[in-house]
Amino acid sequence: MTARTIFVTGTDTEVGKTLVSTALLRGLRSAGHRAVGYKPVASGCARTPTGLRNDDALALQAAGTPGWRYDAINPYAFAEPIAPHVAAADAGVTVLPDRLDTGHARLAAASDWVVVEGAGGWHVPLNAECDFADWVVGARWPVLLVVGMRLGCINHAVLSARAIRNAGAPLVGWVANLMPPLQPRVEDNLACLAQVLGVPPLARIPPMPDAELALNPEPWLARI
């Protein structure tokens, strides 16, 4: 069976993409699937004796099927916590989609599922000519949108969903991350988002989720 892939993007940075990606990996593994996370590009990495390491990529590595080296999970790692294409330029590196494809293919060849986590939002650049949206659309992967429930989230969610759909990518659905402190009138905002996006959230993440949160993959599987 050919491995399936889902791409996790967000309405912004720091909205819970890693939280959702790791929870989905745990859910897939609990359901008996070989599932691995992929953080193709990460900026904001710590310098360690074994090289640059990113917390999000490490979390994906820990949540997925064991046995993968860090550089298989995160082929492009940059120290500065800035936009990935800027960090890459500062490091004298060009992020090459072909290298990202090769890394994904390696994971997919030994897995049932690959959960790919983007950086920032849908249109974050990879290099001067290509952004995450171009890469994902070219791969024809379904997309899951994480909405951080905070002031401005309705506009951000509508713009992101519209951009994903207009690009021709299948939008599987969205996850509401109820970030602390809890947004005032959060239920009203959730109802509004369900109306404007056309579907209710596939999941609601509580403000203080369990560290080993696992999401049931069945709602996603039914839409892919």
Residues noted as catalytic: 39
Angle ∠(207,212,215) on CA atoms, nearest 5: 75
Q: Quick one: tokens of 110?
A: 């030994």
- DSSP H or E segment with residue 63: helix 55-63
> 89-101 b/e with 16+ CB inside 10 Å = b?
eeeeeebebeebe
As a dihedral over the C-alpha atoms of residue 119, residue 217, residue 208, residue 84, rounded to 10 degrees, the angle is 0
Query: C-alpha distances in angstroms, 163 versus 4, 5, 9?
Result: 23, 20, 12
Alpha carbons 56 and 70: distance in angstroms, whole number: 11
- Report the DSSP beta bridge partners of residue 43: 78
Name residue, tokens 């609990």: 30
